[in-house]
């Protein structure tokens, strides 16, 4: 049983929710987000509240109940205030630049890496700090994870791409005899 989904989700002012044909749309000051919902969960929108209930008892219904509640809360938060992730590019000769609709990274390879920026994301880069922002929580996190996966931080010198608050456990190198 989900404790998250038992409580109704409040809609803030200037935010609207509509359900048509199994697609839930949340519209707010920054834009609109939509999500296709499976028939295991029933959604009711009344008096600026969204309530979720299981349509029928099933294992998948139990699993999706709390998941959909979290997704809906993330959608409501995203259309009111954009999500933001910061990546730090660390290392000698490592740099990140935004050129048009591409993020160009120099990560110690013989060639630069060009990553196309997804529609709906805003990416800025200054002093090797890449800031990714957008209204869709999943899209922001996925893009940040893809960029980080290009050169994960290594434990000896700490070079690579890491999240802003991430702590890299450092290892001691070889000792001189």
Q: Convert the pLDDT of each residue in 23-60 to its tens digit.
A: 999 999 999 999 999 888 899 999 899 999 888 888 88
Q: Provide the token pair at 116.
A: 């196309």
Q: Is residue 150 part of a domain?
A: yes
- Residue at which a domain ends, from 55, 80, 105: 80
The CATH number that applies at residue 44 is: 3.90.930.12
Both 55 and 30 in one domain: the answer is: yes
For the chain, the residue count is 177
Both 64 and 44 in one domain: the answer is: yes
Both 74 and 97 in one domain: the answer is: no
Q: Which domain holds residue 155?
A: 83-163
Both 66 and 93 in one domain: the answer is: no
Reported pTM: 0.88
Q: Provide the token pair at 85.
A: 């992730």
Helix 137-150, helix 59-80: angle, nearest 10:
90
Tens digit of each residue's pLDDT, the chain (177 residues)? 568 888 899 999 999 999 998 899 999 999 999 999 988 889 999 989 999 988 888 888 888 888 999 999 999 999 999 999 999 999 898 999 999 999 999 998 899 999 999 999 999 999 889 999 999 999 999 999 999 999 999 999 889 999 998 888 888 888 776
């Amino acid at each position: 049983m989900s404790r998250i989904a038992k409580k109704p989700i409040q809609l803030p002012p200037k935010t609207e929710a509509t359900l048509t044909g199994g697609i839930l749309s949340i519209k707010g000051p920054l834009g609109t987000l939509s999500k296709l919902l499976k028939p295991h969960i029933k959604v009711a929108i009344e008096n600026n509240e969204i309530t979720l209930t299981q349509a029928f008892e099933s294992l998948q219904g139990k699993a999706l109940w709390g998941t959909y509640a979290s997704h809906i809360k993330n959608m409501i938060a995203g259309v009111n205030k954009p999500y933001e992730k910061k990546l730090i590019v660390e290392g000698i000769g490592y740099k990140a630049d935004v050129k048009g609709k591409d993020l160009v990274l120099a990560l110690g390879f013989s060639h630069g890496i060009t990553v196309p920026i997804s529609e709906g994301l805003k990416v800025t880069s200054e002093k090797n700090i890449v800031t990714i922002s957008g209204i869709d929580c999943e899209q922001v996190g996925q893009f940040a994870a893809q960029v980080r996966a290009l050169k994960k931080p290594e434990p000896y010198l700490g070079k690579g791409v890491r999240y802003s608050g991430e702590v890299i456990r450092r290892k001691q190198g070889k000792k001189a005899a």
